[in-house]
Amino acid sequence: MKSTTDPKLRSFIEVSPDSHFPIQNLPYGAFRKKSGGAARLGIAIGDYVLDLSVLEEKGFFDKALNGDSFFSGEIYLNKFMNAGRAAWTAVRETVSYLLNESTADLRDNSELRDTALIPMSQIEMTIPVDIRDYTDFYSSRYHATNVGTMFRDPNNALLPNWLWVPVGYHGRASSVVISGTPIHRPNGQTRPDDNAPPVFGPCRLLDFELEMGFFIGPGNDLGKPIRLADAEDHIFGKVLVNDWSARDIQKWEYQPLGPFLSKNFATTISPWIVTLDALAPFSCDGPVQEDPAPLPYLDSGKNRSYDIHLEVHLQSENMEKATRICQSNFKYMYWNIRQQLTHHSISGCNISPGDMMASGTISGPTPDSYGSMLELTWRGSKPLTIAPEETRKFILDNDTVILTGWCQGDGYRVGFGEASGKILPAREVL
């Protein structure tokens, strides 16, 4: 077991057992003080953020990083992500050492502590990565089967290619936003009556999609694919993703080339990036891939995933507290993140530092584990009760959707925080 993930580790900073940010996690993010100033890069520990630029300027990373600078003056993590696994490991080990309850360097230096450790109540999170490109996959067999059952043939729900290829589409990087950013209901064309021309106006069937994403560290050259065995060296870490979807716009536009305006208006991510090192203790078997077996370039012999508990909560403007409407798990994903990355690059496509890839909707085997309103309400035919006098078929204006997730350890959690967004009314455009 790696020393930084030892369940017995304790920080000199008090961290409650249900906190998402114990010393075993150490996720990366970007923040800005509410009092003003530029964004900075940090690591979450309990209810505090550790300012990495302060540690770098004090020389704590000099030996580990051979004097290289990755945090001072930077507002995005791209430079550090591109540095590769050796740099990631060096910083993680250094920070873990400094936060350890038995290490005096930071613990007993009150001036340094007051400068480097900032209460989360005094900051606001900013987008941590300059996202160059964004691809969204469609990798949950349960979700694909549900959609195929609803819209095609219940006896032949999966399309012929689905068990052979990690299906994906190119999303819109410019509209990826940080948790807490309000989202306006999109306008677009829909065709509610198949016997009449389409109409223009606000989406009426707005949905969330419970997903997880990962960020690319070092990229690859054009024409040089990333092998499956090397994929992890290109993956920096994971976040929660809500791929907001306008179902009625999607229905009208998706043939022949797939999603367009129904997906490009907003994608919400959680602010903290959890590294694969932190997730390593929670590696688990994924779904069996035997019938058919993946083609050789996608076949590692055994499908490996991560045991990440996921939840979705919904809160209307009339509710004091959000209601949980979904419980799922990342381990249900049929195609894993290594296969997704390898397939994406197998054509020779060049992947760049900061690129984001998302899993697609994460649905499980039971109705309460479905990762979208489309499935939870079965196309609106089974309204969902969210409060004694409130039901939902799809998302309404002023509703807030909150995604959260964590890995449960022995007395601690490695969590992702939240990815939340409130839906505002559509803007008038005519």
Tell me which residues are annotated as active site.
Answer: 143
300 DSSP 8-state letter: -
Residue 124 phi, psi (nearest 5)? -130, 140
Report the alpha-carbon distance of residue 379 to residue 93 in Å, rounded.
48
Give the whole-angstrom CA distance, residue 395 versus residue 406.
Answer: 25
36: which DSSP letter? -
Asked if 269 and 419 touch (Cβ cutoff 8 Å), the reply is yes
The encoded tokens of residue 167 equal: 């299906």
**Structure token digits, residue 358:** 């998302």
Q: 226 and 234 in contact (C-beta within 8 Å)?
A: yes
For residue 154, how many other CB atoms are within 10 A of its CB? Answer: 9
d(CA 40, CA 76): 8
Q: In the numeric block, which tokens belong to residue 3?
A: 């020393």
Asked if residues 245 and 268 have their Cβ atoms less than 8 Å apart, the reply is no
Contact 360, 354 (CB under 8 A): no
CA 311 – CA 301 distance, rounded (Å): 30
End-to-end CA distance of the chain: 60
395 in Cβ contact with 248 (< 8 Å): no
∠ at Cα 329 (324, 335), nearest 5°? 140
**DSSP per-residue string spanning 156-216:** G-S-TTTTTS--EEE--GGGEEETT--EEPPEEEE-SSTTS--EEEE-SSEE-BEEEEEEE
